[in-house]
Every structure is written in structure tokens, then in C-alpha cells.
Structure 1
Amino acid sequence: MVDQGEKPTIVSYGALLSALEKGKLYDEALQVWEHMLKVGVVPNLYAFTIMASIYAGQGRSEMVDSIIRDMVSSGIEPTVVTFNVIISGCARNSMGSIAFEWFHRMKVLNFSPNEITYEMLIEALAKDAKPKLAYELYLRANISLLTLPTVEARIRHYKWEVKYEYKSQDCYKKLVIAINGKTPGPSIIAQQGDTVVVELKNSLLTENVAIHWHGIPQIGTPWSDGTEGVTQGSY
């Protein structure tokens, strides 16, 4: 197109920006955006929205603000889709707190959240280890008579290896018991209805290991919780 002396249209730029955003090629997308502005192609709502998503995915809230200001100054009003895209960008990058801030801002600006808003925000908060807040939003959506899809239960597999490692948790290197090289150990991320399967390898040479699940129902595995050597086996 350029070789033939034709200038790409906003449709061409929008399609390219969208492809780069989906591939998380943010730096390349910013270069395309800058070139588009340089050659005088005027952004439309779609292009502005993609850029808002890109900056949100980078955690650059000040640039998201700048994009929205540029939209308004160009006579283009943000829509609920614009805010949903911003929240979705935060969700994909596990930035639940920032997504929650944008949720509040869209309400301050008199944009009513829809089902997609709540879905994206609940996903972001769940990824950011904020299950209680995610559940509160789920209840709020139900009160607003919004219908959220039922999340299908999943089987979540984890493999843990317990062994001795040297760590400097308090700025003093010493021998500790670690799980997959971490102390405290790794997180388990699940939701109500899921089945969690943990394969544990005990690499401690002289000690047994027992994992206490703090009352999580042991369906078919009653020996996996309780007091070691009494109601729980050790490995």
C-alpha cells in the first residue's frame, strides 16, 4: 500500500493495533500508533479503545487517562466498552487492584457496568488473589439483576517437592524447609466446586511430611487432613 503511494486508512491501523495488542506486542503497537499520528491518520473510537487496553496492560494508568482525555477532546465519548477493555487489559496481566480502581471511575463518570464488566473484574480480582472481593462483586451483580455465567468446576493439579534449601528470609542465610524452592510455599488458586489434586514428593532425607488443609473437605481422602499420626498419614 505504501509502496504504491497510498496512505493506510484508520481501518488498516486499527486491525494492526488489534493484532499487536492480542499478541501483547505492546512496544510494536506503540510504534504503529505514533506512526499513525505522524502521518495524520485521525484515530477513531476503536483505535483509542485498543490503545487504552495496551496502556492498561502495561500498568500505565496515567497514559490510559491521557487516551481518554484525547478521546473527549476529539469529540469521541468513551463507552462502557472502553472501560470493559481497560478492565480486561488489567485482568490479563493480573492487576486486580488497578482494574477495581477503573471500575469505580467508570461509575463516577456515570457509566453503568454490564455483565461483561463484572465478569472481567471478577476474573482480575481472582487472579490477583482477592477472592473475597470477587465474591462481593458477584453478589452485587446479582442484586443489580445481571446474569453472570456459571463457572464450570475444574480439576486443578499441582506438583510439590519438599526439601531443604538455604534461604535468607530475615537477611540471615539458614537452612529451611521449602516447597518448590519457596518459603512460604506456593499458592493454590481455585474456586468453589473445584477439585484440587496435589502430588507431593518428600525429598527430606530423615523426616516425614504432613500437609494440613485447615478443614477443606477431604472427599474420599480423609487421611489427608487432621493431626499427623492420628487422623492424617505422613509421607
Structure 2
Amino acid sequence: MLFEAMPKAKVQSNIISCNATISACEKDGQWQQALELLEAMLKARLLPDIISYNAATSACEKGLQWQQAAMLFEVMQKANVLPDVISYGAAISACEKGGQWQQALWLFEAMPMANVKPDEISYCAVISACEKGRAMAASFVVV
């Protein structure tokens, strides 16, 4: 990986190079590597920012890892990085893909309390999550 070659080339990694690498992991569905890089940033005393967390959360969403996305959402807040509409959208989408409609709905309802205005992606993801949840509930009722 090019990111790992940076120290050998005497190029210092920074928040921009880390975020770019996490974003590349997200686009390639490499959620494990995205989380490893986020952890490596902390060990290197590079504080992840909203871009770091959003890219890692999106990587988890694409990797169908809703639990990891939810964990990142909590970690972000504990690190005093305030979630934005992208953070919520990625976490809601991860819950939707993981069949966690209650969690998706809870996140969506928490947005106004956090002064974050839902966007089209947030609405679509929570609607899809509830629709899938209803379909699952209906399948249990059918005899």
C-alpha cells in the first residue's frame, strides 16, 4: 500500500494523507483496513476529524458492518467530534443494511436534537430500514 511506503520515502503522514487513505478503503469496501488506519492515527497522535470518522463509518456501511458503524458513531462523540448529516446518514444506512430498523429510526430521530438537519439520504435510508423491518415483521406473522 502506498500509505505504508510513505515513511520509507521520508514523507510524514498527516491528517490529509490518512483521510485520503481511509476514503480509498471506503471506496474499495475495505472496512477492516479503514478501522486499522483510524487506530493507527490515534497511536501516531494524529487526531481523527469528522472526515476520518465519516469515511470509516461509510467503509463499515459498505462492508455491511452495522455494529462497527454504530461503535464509530459513539467513539466519534466521545472524542468530541460532533456528527454531521454525513455521519448520521452513514450510520443510518449501515443500520438499514444490517436490518436494524429500530437503531436507524433512533439515529434519525436524534438528528434534530443534535442540531443536524436530515437530508434526502437520511430520509431514504430510514424509510428503507423501516420498510425492511416491516417486511421482516410481516413474515413472522404469516402462517
Q: Fold-level match, TM-score > 0.5?
A: yes
Aligned to 2:110: 140
**In 2: Cα distance, 1:44 partner to 1:62 partner:** 16
| TM-score, structure 2 normalization | 0.74
2:73 to 94, 103, 108: 103
2:60 to 75, 79, 90: 90
Q: Which amino acid aligns with 1:94?
A: L
Q: Does the CA contact (< 8 Å) of 1:51 and 1:67 recur in 2?
A: no
Q: Which amino acid aligns with 2:50?
A: V
Higher strand share: 1
Report the RMSD for the aligned CA atoms in angstroms.
Answer: 2.9
User: What are structure 1's unaligned runs of at least 5 residues?
Assistant: 1-30, 154-189, 195-212, 216-225, 228-235
Aligned to 2:21: 51
Aligned to 1:149: 119
- For residues 51-70 of structure 1, what are the structure 2 equivalents within 5 Å? 51-53=21-23, 54=25, 57-60=30-33, 61-70=35-44
Q: Which amino acid aligns with 1:125?
A: C
**In 1: Cα distance, 2:76 partner to 2:115 partner:** 19
CA deviation vs aligned residue, 1:88-112 (integer Å, no higher than 9, x gap): 1111111110011111111111111
Aligned to 2:4: 34
Higher helix share: 2
1:214 to 120, 138, 143: 138
In the alignment, is residue 114 of structure 1 matched against residue 84 of structure 2?
yes
**In 2: Cα distance, 1:48 partner to 1:63 partner:** 7
Give the number of the structure whose alpha-carbon radius of gyration is greater.
1
Q: Does the CA contact (< 8 Å) of 2:101 and 2:130 recur in 1?
A: no
**In 1: Cα distance, 2:68 partner to 2:115 partner:** 25
| TM-score, structure 1 normalization | 0.47
1:140 is displaced (CA, Å) by 0.5
How many residue pairs were aligned? 130
Q: What percentage of aligned pairs have identical amino acids?
A: 18
Give the direction of change, closer, same or farther, for the CA distance of 1:98–1:64 in structure 2 (3 Å limit): same
1:38 is displaced (CA, Å) by 1.1
- Relative contact order (alpha carbons < 8 A, sep ≥ 6): 1 or 2 greater? 2
